[in-house]
Amino acid sequence: MVHSLQKIVGVSLVMLVAACSNDQTYKHQVSGNEDYLKAPELKELHAPTGMILPLQNGEYALRNVAVKEGKVGLALDIRPPAQPLALMTGSRVQYSNNVASLALENNAQNQALWSQVIAAMGQKNYKIADRQDANQTLTTDWINWTREDENAPHQARYQISVQSQGYQNVLMVKVLELKTGDQSINDPASIQRYSISMLNSIIESLDKTQRDLDASRLAQTTGSIILQGGRDDTGLPVVIVRAPYNVVWERLPDVLESIGMKIDDRNRPQGLITMSFKSSSSNWSALNVADPELKNGDYKLQVGDLDNRSSLQFIDAKGQVLKESENNALVAVLQSAFNRSMTK
């Protein structure tokens, strides 16, 4: 009997823990108690008759400010606002007036932005309810979003359009309806979150298509990528790579690995790679280059976008840019590594 009771209690606890684990509300809430909500309002100071108060400085006066009513305590959603991703070269992103937008230069490459957006919708399996090619506008069917910080999936309908604005082509995404189950959602934070989720999803697809196209073009060329030593705007040494940022970024992992750089982290929007270096004679023999005599240790690599060229600037663990002699020694090593990567 005791054994059976223990089993029942154990199963109940497991079920309770499982039920609690499905509730993601805690990810929205501030931790700690809510005693601060019980704090009394500020009151005007009344001095007793005959008492002379010190001189007052208005710079330090606490003023009563009318606060608009809103959610407080555990009801307040503390998740940071979603941010659009500026993944594509030369792109500008923003969220304003309930519209998430991506602006690209109105050049030959981006003239086909509308058809690229349609292709991205197909790649993501987003159903289109209505499409007007004449004014480059579409309305989606209901699209499901499942997030780990939500208790239930959300569904949204969108209006997506591409407009030419002077020297820019602008992709705009706007939520028409947002709901979870049968409940409509209208709060600004959620509208922003799911507007930007759709924009970022399309941007990721556009960026991948562009990177694949750049890689295909590079594979078709017979010439190699040319590297040379140079200086940045402040006069510090850099390696200039005569290839677009997208191409260089995709080839860097293989290139860096071949010279003994182990990558710890990559941040493409910031163009930043953190890595550790260990010199090896076998690497120099495989590349048929002299040992650059670079010190073993941790490094950061800042990759710059110079339109049809890119820059590489190596920074050591002390935050110091490599000396010009060290930078020039790496040029020959990286040149060989890039040439080798193009034959793979």
More confident residue, 11 or 57: 57
| Region 286-314 average pLDDT | 91
pLDDT, residue 7, reads 47
* pLDDT per residue as tens digits for the range 4-55: 545 444 544 444 444 445 777 767 667 777 777 777 877 777 888 888 888 8
Residue appearing with tokens 């009318």:
66
| Region 319-326 average pLDDT | 92
CA–CA dist 337, 287 (Å, integer): 7
pLDDT, residue 44, reads 79
* pLDDT per residue as tens digits for the range 129-185: 999 999 999 999 999 999 888 888 999 999 999 999 888 999 999 999 999 999 999
pLDDT, residue 20, reads 47
Residue 258 CB coordination number (10 Å): 18
CA–CA dist 154, 142 (Å, integer): 10
pLDDT, residue 69, reads 65
Task: Answer left, alpha or beta for residue 100, where phi above 0 means left and psi between -120 and 50 means alpha.
Answer: beta
pLDDT, residue 33, reads 74
pLDDT of residue 80 exceeding 90:
no
Query: Is 327 in a helix, a strand, or coil?
Result: helix
Find how far residue 284's CA is from the centre of its chain: 36
Instruction: Enumerate residues 6+ apart whose C-beta is below 8 A from 38.
Output: none
Residue appearing with tokens 């509300």:
25
* pLDDT per residue as tens digits for the range 285-294: 888 898 999 9
Query: Which domains, from first to last, does the chain contain?
Result: 92-218 (3.30.530.50), 227-342 (3.30.310.170)
Instruction: Enumerate residues 6+ apart whose C-beta is below 8 A from 285.
Output: none
pLDDT, residue 11, reads 45
H or E stretch covering 180: strand 168-180
| Region 295-320 average pLDDT | 92
* pLDDT per residue as tens digits for the range 87-125: 887 789 999 999 999 999 888 778 889 999 999 999 999
CA–CA dist 250, 210 (Å, integer): 12
Residue 203 CB coordination number (10 Å): 23
Mean of pLDDT over the chain: 85
* pLDDT per residue as tens digits for the range 180-206: 999 999 989 899 999 999 999 999 999
pLDDT, residue 50, reads 86
| Region 67-90 average pLDDT | 77
| Region 55-72 average pLDDT | 73
* pLDDT per residue as tens digits for the range 326-340: 999 999 999 999 888
pLDDT of residue 238 exceeding 70:
yes
| Residue 71 banded pLDDT, cuts 50, 70, 90 | confident
pLDDT, residue 258, reads 92
pLDDT of residue 218 exceeding 70:
no
pLDDT, residue 219, reads 61
pLDDT, residue 222, reads 47
111-116: long-range contacts (C-beta < 8 A, 24 or more apart)? 111/169, 113/162, 113/169, 113/171, 114/162, 116/206, 116/209
CA–CA dist 327, 304 (Å, integer): 16
H or E stretch covering 100: strand 99-105
CA–CA dist 167, 256 (Å, integer): 37
